Amino acid sequence: MLHIALHFVVPLLAALAFQRPRWRSAWLILVATMVVDGDHLLATPIYDPERCSIGFHPLHTLPAIVVYAGLFLLPLMFGREPDRRALRPNARIVHLVGLGLLIHMALDGIDCLGM
């Protein structure tokens, strides 16, 4: 139960820390990335408390995590406004999606350490 709560609390803390003026929309985007757990529906059984998600489910594999890192980093490198400070609106969304997915994978990875 704590693991599931952390999937809401950690994104909230990240939104408050890094997106203060727009924390609500940032938090919603970060939480929306939990749809990545849809790949659990491909497993039998769907939920196994003794199974580590990382490396087992298709969207929880290293290649997928590399893509999530790209979603996080590329907007920082190429998505800035001409004044080089703020991210363009679409780049901000892609950046937040990448951050949300990386937070999700980190939390799942921490959960795996306890197994």
3-state secondary structure of 105: helix
pLDDT at 68: 98
Q: Is the pLDDT of residue 49 over 90?
A: no
At 10, is the pLDDT very low, low, confident or very high (cuts 50, 70, 90)?
very high
CA nearest to 27, candidates 12, 17, 42: 12
Contact present, 97 and 69 (Cβ < 8 Å): no
Q: What is the chain's Cα-based Rg?
A: 15
Joined together, the tokens standing for residue 38 give 């849809």
3-state secondary structure of 80: strand
pLDDT at 103: 98
Please tell me which residue, 85 or 91, carries the higher pLDDT value. Answer: 91
3-state secondary structure of 75: helix
Global pTM value = 0.94
At 114, is the pLDDT very low, low, confident or very high (cuts 50, 70, 90)?
confident
3-state secondary structure of 44: coil
Joined together, the tokens standing for residue 97 give 């999606």
At 75, is the pLDDT very low, low, confident or very high (cuts 50, 70, 90)?
very high
Joined together, the tokens standing for residue 25 give 């929309």
Query: What is the identity of the amino acid at 108?
Result: D
Name the H helices within 19-85.
23-32, 62-78
